[in-house]
Amino acid sequence: MIVTGAGGGLGAATTRQLHERGVNVLAVDLDVGTLEAAIGLHDERIAYLSADVSNAAEVERIATTTVQRFGRIDALFNNAATHGPAAAIEDYSEEEFRRVLDVNVIGVWLLMKATLAELARQKGRIVNVSSIAGLIGWKNLSGYTAAKHAVVGLTRAIAIEAASQDVAVNALCPGSMDTPMLWEGAKGLGVDMQTAGDMIASAIPRGTIGTPEEVAQAATWLLLDAPSFITGAAIPVDGGQTAT
Ligand SMILES: NC(=O)c1ccc[n+]([C@@H]2O[C@H](COP(=O)([O-])OP(=O)(O)OC[C@H]3O[C@@H](n4cnc5c(N)ncnc54)[C@H](O)[C@@H]3O)[C@@H](O)[C@H]2O)c1
Protein backbone atom coordinates (compact mmCIF):
# COMPACT_ATOMS: atom_id res chain seq x y z
CA MET A 1 0.00 0.00 0.00
CA ILE A 2 1.19 3.50 -0.85
CA VAL A 3 0.03 6.56 1.11
CA THR A 4 1.15 9.94 -0.26
CA GLY A 5 1.05 13.10 1.81
CA ALA A 6 1.33 10.71 4.74
CA GLY A 7 2.83 13.33 7.05
CA GLY A 8 -0.27 15.56 6.85
CA GLY A 9 -3.47 15.41 8.87
CA LEU A 10 -5.50 13.00 6.73
CA GLY A 11 -2.50 11.00 5.50
CA ALA A 12 -1.15 10.31 8.99
CA ALA A 13 -4.59 9.34 10.36
CA THR A 14 -5.14 6.97 7.41
CA THR A 15 -1.66 5.46 7.71
CA ARG A 16 -2.30 4.72 11.39
CA GLN A 17 -5.68 3.07 10.69
CA LEU A 18 -4.19 0.96 7.87
CA HIS A 19 -1.33 -0.06 10.15
CA GLU A 20 -3.81 -1.14 12.83
CA ARG A 21 -5.43 -3.37 10.17
CA GLY A 22 -2.08 -5.11 9.61
CA VAL A 23 -1.35 -3.55 6.22
CA ASN A 24 2.17 -2.86 4.87
CA VAL A 25 2.44 0.87 4.13
CA LEU A 26 5.00 2.92 2.23
CA ALA A 27 4.41 6.39 3.69
CA VAL A 28 5.51 9.18 1.35
CA ASP A 29 5.91 12.90 1.92
CA LEU A 30 8.29 15.71 1.00
CA ASP A 31 10.47 15.42 4.10
CA VAL A 32 11.11 12.03 5.66
CA GLY A 33 12.10 13.41 9.08
CA THR A 34 8.85 15.35 9.49
CA LEU A 35 6.95 12.36 8.12
CA GLU A 36 8.40 9.85 10.61
CA ALA A 37 7.78 12.26 13.47
CA ALA A 38 4.14 12.76 12.38
CA ILE A 39 3.37 9.04 12.18
CA GLY A 40 5.63 7.70 14.92
CA LEU A 41 5.39 4.03 13.92
CA HIS A 42 8.49 1.84 13.61
CA ASP A 43 8.20 -1.79 12.62
CA GLU A 44 8.54 -4.05 9.58
CA ARG A 45 5.10 -3.06 8.23
CA ILE A 46 5.92 0.62 7.72
CA ALA A 47 8.53 2.30 5.52
CA TYR A 48 9.12 6.00 4.94
CA LEU A 49 10.20 7.76 1.76
CA SER A 50 10.85 11.38 0.78
CA ALA A 51 9.46 12.12 -2.67
CA ASP A 52 7.76 14.91 -4.58
CA VAL A 53 4.68 13.46 -6.29
CA SER A 54 4.84 16.06 -9.07
CA ASN A 55 8.17 14.61 -10.26
CA ALA A 56 7.84 11.58 -12.57
CA ALA A 57 11.22 10.06 -11.64
CA GLU A 58 10.42 10.34 -7.93
CA VAL A 59 7.02 8.74 -8.50
CA GLU A 60 8.72 5.81 -10.26
CA ARG A 61 10.94 5.51 -7.18
CA ILE A 62 7.81 5.32 -4.99
CA ALA A 63 6.49 2.42 -7.07
CA THR A 64 9.77 0.49 -7.24
CA THR A 65 10.50 1.01 -3.54
CA THR A 66 7.08 -0.41 -2.61
CA VAL A 67 7.63 -3.54 -4.70
CA GLN A 68 11.21 -3.98 -3.40
CA ARG A 69 10.16 -3.53 0.21
CA PHE A 70 6.78 -5.31 0.30
CA GLY A 71 6.76 -7.47 -2.85
CA ARG A 72 3.68 -5.88 -4.39
CA ILE A 73 1.42 -2.83 -4.62
CA ASP A 74 -2.13 -3.68 -3.57
CA ALA A 75 -3.54 -0.20 -3.05
CA LEU A 76 -2.79 3.48 -3.54
CA PHE A 77 -4.03 6.33 -1.34
CA ASN A 78 -3.35 9.31 -3.61
CA ASN A 79 -3.64 12.01 -0.98
CA ALA A 80 -0.76 14.52 -1.28
CA ALA A 81 -1.81 18.02 -2.27
CA THR A 82 -1.02 21.65 -1.83
CA HIS A 83 -3.60 24.31 -1.04
CA GLY A 84 -2.04 27.15 -2.98
CA PRO A 85 -2.98 30.77 -2.42
CA ALA A 86 -6.36 32.03 -1.30
CA ALA A 87 -6.55 34.93 -3.75
CA ALA A 88 -8.75 36.42 -6.42
CA ILE A 89 -7.72 35.54 -9.97
CA GLU A 90 -6.11 38.94 -10.56
CA ASP A 91 -3.79 38.38 -7.57
CA TYR A 92 -3.15 34.68 -8.32
CA SER A 93 0.13 34.20 -10.21
CA GLU A 94 0.45 31.84 -13.16
CA GLU A 95 3.41 30.20 -11.43
CA GLU A 96 1.31 29.44 -8.32
CA PHE A 97 -1.58 28.15 -10.45
CA ARG A 98 0.74 25.80 -12.36
CA ARG A 99 2.31 24.52 -9.12
CA VAL A 100 -1.12 23.65 -7.66
CA LEU A 101 -2.02 21.73 -10.83
CA ASP A 102 1.42 20.06 -10.91
CA VAL A 103 1.08 18.59 -7.42
CA ASN A 104 -2.68 18.05 -7.16
CA VAL A 105 -3.45 16.82 -10.70
CA ILE A 106 -0.22 15.70 -12.44
CA GLY A 107 0.93 14.09 -9.18
CA VAL A 108 -2.29 12.08 -8.87
CA TRP A 109 -2.07 11.06 -12.55
CA LEU A 110 1.63 10.08 -12.29
CA LEU A 111 1.00 7.84 -9.28
CA MET A 112 -1.87 6.02 -11.02
CA LYS A 113 0.22 5.64 -14.20
CA ALA A 114 3.21 4.25 -12.28
CA THR A 115 1.20 1.72 -10.22
CA LEU A 116 -1.71 0.56 -12.38
CA ALA A 117 0.00 -2.47 -13.96
CA GLU A 118 1.07 -3.76 -10.55
CA LEU A 119 -2.35 -2.93 -9.05
CA ALA A 120 -4.01 -4.89 -11.85
CA ARG A 121 -1.97 -7.99 -10.88
CA GLN A 122 -3.34 -7.64 -7.32
CA LYS A 123 -6.92 -6.60 -8.24
CA GLY A 124 -6.04 -3.55 -6.19
CA ARG A 125 -7.70 -0.35 -5.10
CA ILE A 126 -7.07 3.35 -5.75
CA VAL A 127 -8.51 6.15 -3.64
CA ASN A 128 -7.80 9.66 -4.92
CA VAL A 129 -8.38 12.51 -2.50
CA SER A 130 -10.39 15.28 -4.07
CA SER A 131 -12.44 17.70 -1.97
CA ILE A 132 -15.86 19.30 -1.85
CA ALA A 133 -13.94 21.86 -3.96
CA GLY A 134 -14.02 19.09 -6.58
CA LEU A 135 -17.82 19.16 -6.55
CA ILE A 136 -18.69 22.85 -6.15
CA GLY A 137 -16.90 26.13 -6.85
CA TRP A 138 -14.97 28.10 -4.22
CA LYS A 139 -14.30 31.81 -4.34
CA ASN A 140 -10.61 32.83 -4.30
CA LEU A 141 -9.44 29.24 -4.76
CA SER A 142 -9.24 28.93 -8.54
CA GLY A 143 -6.17 26.67 -8.60
CA TYR A 144 -7.32 24.32 -5.85
CA THR A 145 -10.91 24.15 -7.17
CA ALA A 146 -9.77 23.43 -10.74
CA ALA A 147 -7.34 20.79 -9.50
CA LYS A 148 -9.87 19.01 -7.29
CA HIS A 149 -12.49 18.96 -10.09
CA ALA A 150 -9.76 17.41 -12.27
CA VAL A 151 -9.16 14.71 -9.65
CA VAL A 152 -12.84 13.70 -9.88
CA GLY A 153 -12.54 13.59 -13.69
CA LEU A 154 -9.34 11.55 -13.55
CA THR A 155 -10.95 9.15 -11.09
CA ARG A 156 -13.88 8.52 -13.44
CA ALA A 157 -11.64 8.11 -16.51
CA ILE A 158 -9.21 5.68 -14.88
CA ALA A 159 -12.04 3.81 -13.13
CA ILE A 160 -13.41 2.96 -16.58
CA GLU A 161 -9.95 2.04 -17.93
CA ALA A 162 -9.19 -0.21 -14.93
CA ALA A 163 -12.63 -1.77 -14.38
CA SER A 164 -12.03 -4.81 -16.58
CA GLN A 165 -8.92 -5.59 -14.49
CA ASP A 166 -11.03 -5.42 -11.32
CA VAL A 167 -9.15 -2.38 -9.99
CA ALA A 168 -11.61 -0.06 -8.25
CA VAL A 169 -10.82 3.66 -8.47
CA ASN A 170 -12.76 6.11 -6.31
CA ALA A 171 -12.45 9.67 -5.06
CA LEU A 172 -13.10 10.91 -1.56
CA CYS A 173 -14.32 14.50 -1.31
CA PRO A 174 -13.65 15.71 2.22
CA GLY A 175 -15.32 18.85 3.48
CA SER A 176 -13.77 20.90 6.25
CA MET A 177 -11.51 18.61 8.24
CA ASP A 178 -9.40 19.64 11.22
CA THR A 179 -5.91 19.55 9.65
CA PRO A 180 -3.14 22.13 9.00
CA MET A 181 -4.48 22.62 5.46
CA LEU A 182 -7.90 23.74 6.73
CA TRP A 183 -6.40 26.37 9.03
CA GLU A 184 -4.01 27.54 6.29
CA GLY A 185 -7.01 28.13 4.02
CA ALA A 186 -8.96 29.74 6.87
CA LYS A 187 -6.43 32.59 6.94
CA GLY A 188 -8.09 33.75 3.71
CA LEU A 189 -11.26 34.55 5.68
CA GLY A 190 -9.43 37.50 7.26
CA VAL A 191 -10.73 36.87 10.80
CA ASP A 192 -9.20 35.34 13.94
CA MET A 193 -9.01 31.52 14.00
CA GLN A 194 -11.79 31.09 16.61
CA THR A 195 -14.19 33.12 14.46
CA ALA A 196 -13.01 31.31 11.33
CA GLY A 197 -13.70 27.94 13.00
CA ASP A 198 -17.22 29.07 13.95
CA MET A 199 -17.87 30.34 10.41
CA ILE A 200 -16.67 27.08 8.86
CA ALA A 201 -18.70 24.91 11.27
CA SER A 202 -21.87 26.96 10.68
CA ALA A 203 -21.76 25.99 6.96
CA ILE A 204 -21.83 22.28 7.85
CA PRO A 205 -25.26 20.73 8.54
CA ARG A 206 -23.72 18.47 11.23
CA GLY A 207 -22.52 21.66 12.92
CA THR A 208 -18.95 20.55 13.60
CA ILE A 209 -15.72 20.35 11.59
CA GLY A 210 -14.74 16.82 10.57
CA THR A 211 -11.90 14.89 12.16
CA PRO A 212 -9.01 13.33 10.18
CA GLU A 213 -10.10 9.94 11.55
CA GLU A 214 -13.47 10.26 9.77
CA VAL A 215 -11.76 10.53 6.37
CA ALA A 216 -9.34 7.77 7.40
CA GLN A 217 -12.28 5.44 8.16
CA ALA A 218 -13.82 6.10 4.75
CA ALA A 219 -10.43 5.64 3.03
CA THR A 220 -9.64 2.42 4.91
CA TRP A 221 -13.04 0.99 3.98
CA LEU A 222 -12.59 1.81 0.29
CA LEU A 223 -8.98 0.55 0.27
CA LEU A 224 -9.55 -2.71 2.18
CA ASP A 225 -13.20 -3.69 2.44
CA ALA A 226 -15.41 -2.18 -0.26
CA PRO A 227 -16.59 -4.29 -3.19
CA SER A 228 -14.94 -3.52 -6.54
CA PHE A 229 -18.42 -2.80 -7.92
CA ILE A 230 -18.06 0.59 -6.18
CA THR A 231 -15.84 2.31 -8.72
CA GLY A 232 -15.74 5.71 -10.40
CA ALA A 233 -17.53 7.28 -7.42
CA ALA A 234 -16.82 10.70 -5.89
CA ILE A 235 -17.92 10.33 -2.28
CA PRO A 236 -18.41 13.39 -0.06
CA VAL A 237 -17.20 13.13 3.55
CA ASP A 238 -18.53 16.50 4.54
CA GLY A 239 -21.16 16.46 7.27
CA GLY A 240 -23.83 17.14 4.65
CA GLN A 241 -22.29 20.35 3.29
CA THR A 242 -22.73 19.50 -0.41
CA ALA A 243 -26.22 18.09 0.22
CA THR A 244 -27.51 21.57 0.98
N1 LIG B 1 -8.25 19.41 5.53
C2 LIG B 1 -9.32 19.63 4.80
O3 LIG B 1 -10.24 20.32 5.24
C4 LIG B 1 -9.43 19.04 3.42
C5 LIG B 1 -10.64 19.23 2.75
C6 LIG B 1 -10.78 18.69 1.48
C7 LIG B 1 -9.75 17.98 0.90
N8 LIG B 1 -8.58 17.83 1.56
C9 LIG B 1 -7.54 17.05 0.88
O10 LIG B 1 -7.08 16.04 1.74
C11 LIG B 1 -5.73 15.71 1.38
C12 LIG B 1 -4.87 15.75 2.63
O13 LIG B 1 -4.90 17.07 3.13
P14 LIG B 1 -4.63 17.43 4.67
O15 LIG B 1 -5.77 18.20 5.14
O16 LIG B 1 -4.17 16.23 5.40
O17 LIG B 1 -3.46 18.48 4.41
P18 LIG B 1 -2.00 18.58 5.02
O19 LIG B 1 -1.46 19.87 4.53
O20 LIG B 1 -2.05 18.30 6.49
O21 LIG B 1 -1.27 17.35 4.31
C22 LIG B 1 -0.88 17.35 2.96
C23 LIG B 1 0.45 16.64 2.89
O24 LIG B 1 0.85 16.54 1.52
C25 LIG B 1 2.26 16.78 1.47
N26 LIG B 1 2.65 17.26 0.15
C27 LIG B 1 2.39 18.47 -0.40
N28 LIG B 1 2.95 18.55 -1.61
C29 LIG B 1 3.57 17.36 -1.83
C30 LIG B 1 4.33 16.86 -2.91
N31 LIG B 1 4.58 17.58 -4.00
N32 LIG B 1 4.83 15.59 -2.81
C33 LIG B 1 4.59 14.85 -1.70
N34 LIG B 1 3.88 15.28 -0.65
C35 LIG B 1 3.38 16.53 -0.71
C36 LIG B 1 2.50 17.84 2.53
O37 LIG B 1 3.86 17.89 2.92
C38 LIG B 1 1.55 17.40 3.63
O39 LIG B 1 2.18 16.56 4.58
C40 LIG B 1 -5.32 16.71 0.30
O41 LIG B 1 -5.50 16.12 -0.97
C42 LIG B 1 -6.31 17.84 0.50
O43 LIG B 1 -6.48 18.61 -0.67
C44 LIG B 1 -8.39 18.33 2.81
Q: What is the percent of the chain with per-residue pLDDT over 70, rounded to a whole number? A: 100
How far CA 193 is from CA of 24, 91, 190, 196, 197, in Å, comes to: 37, 23, 9, 5, 6
- Per-residue pLDDT reduced to its tens digit, 153-186: 999 999 999 999 999 999 999 999 999 989 988 8
Q: Which residues line ligand 1 (CB under 6 A)?
A: 4-5, 7-11, 29-30, 52-54, 79-82, 103, 107, 129, 131, 174, 176-177, 179-182
The number of C-alpha atoms within 13 Å of 88 and in the hemisphere containing its C-beta is: 1
Q: Which of 116, 28, 31, 45 is nearest to 75 (CA)?
A: 116
| Domains of the chain, start order | 2-176+213-237 (3.40.50.720)
Are residues 115 and 67 in contact, defined by beta-carbon separation less than 8 angstroms?
no
70-120: per-residue pLDDT in tens?
A: 999 999 999 999 999 999 999 999 999 999 999 999 999 999 999 999 999
Dihedral angle over CA of 227, 212, 180, 206, nearest 10: 110
**First-to-final CA distance of the chain:** 35
- What are the Cα distances from residue 27, in Å, to 46, 76, 82? 7, 11, 17
With cut-offs at 50, 70 and 90, classify the pLDDT of residue 69: very high
Return the pLDDT at 125. 98
For ligand 1, pick from 179, 204, 242 the residue to mutate: most ligand atoms within 8 Å of CB: 179
Q: How far apart are CA 36 and CA 6, in angstroms?
A: 9
pLDDT computed for residue 223 by the predictor: 98
pLDDT averaged over the chain?
Answer: 97
- Whether residue 179 contacts residue 8, with contact meaning beta carbons closer than 8 Å, is answered with yes
Best CA proximity match to 78, nearest among 159, 151, 3: 3
Q: What percent of the chain has pLDDT over 90?
A: 96
Res 189 pLDDT > 90: no
Cβ-based burial of 194 (10 A; exposed 0-12, middle 13-18, buried ≥19): exposed
Query: Which of 32-41, 180-189, 200-209 bottoms out in mean pLDDT, i.e. has the lowest?
Result: 180-189
Q: Which of 26, 28, 29, 235 to mutate to test the pocket of ligand 1 (most atoms within 8 A of CB)?
A: 29
